[in-house]
Amino acid sequence: MASNRIGRINEEIQRELAAQIRSLKDPRVSGTGMVSVTRVNTTPDLRYAQVFISVLDKAQEKDVLKGLKSAAGFLRRELGSSLRLRYTPELQFVADDSIEHGAHILELLRDVERKDAQRGGQEEDE
């Protein structure tokens, strides 16, 4: 039962932060193009929330995370006023490499598929 509640809170935090990040004036965040909140993991006591961030331009990822960490207090206050939770979690921003990892796995699968296709063509020739 509690996990459903945490799941809903995670989704709501993700939605709110995505909207708030778009309105940040910090040039490290606003001047980078696309910044996405991919996932949020909140502790059961609602004290901490890990916010996973994906940046389109990986070269600017560290600057974006620094900008978000400096704006964490502001984002937390805004989040607290919009969600009305007993405790507003402390935000910890983390780079999310799941998209990159998924692309790497897809490339490995394509390599195996190409090798299987080449082996299949060789067997037919024999």
Calpha distance 89→110 (Å, rounded): 42
Same domain (yes/no): 14, 45 = yes
Please tell me whether the overall predicted TM-score, pTM, comes out greater than 0.85 for this model.
Answer: no
Given this model, what pLDDT does residue 39 score? 94
32-44 pLDDT, tens digit per residue, is 778 889 999 999 9
76-104 pLDDT, tens digit per residue, is 999 988 888 888 999 999 998 887 788 88
Same domain (yes/no): 88, 103 = no
Same domain (yes/no): 68, 15 = yes
Same domain (yes/no): 28, 81 = yes
Tokens encoding 45 = 């006591």
Residue type, 58: K
Same domain (yes/no): 52, 89 = yes
What percent of the chain has pLDDT above 90?
A: 54
Same domain (yes/no): 55, 10 = yes
The count of structural domains within the chain is: 2
Strand arrangement, sheet containing 48-55: 35-42, 48-55, 90-95
CATH number at residue 80: 3.30.300.20
Same domain (yes/no): 83, 102 = no
Same domain (yes/no): 37, 76 = yes
Per the structure, the complete domain to which residue 101 belongs is given by: 97-126
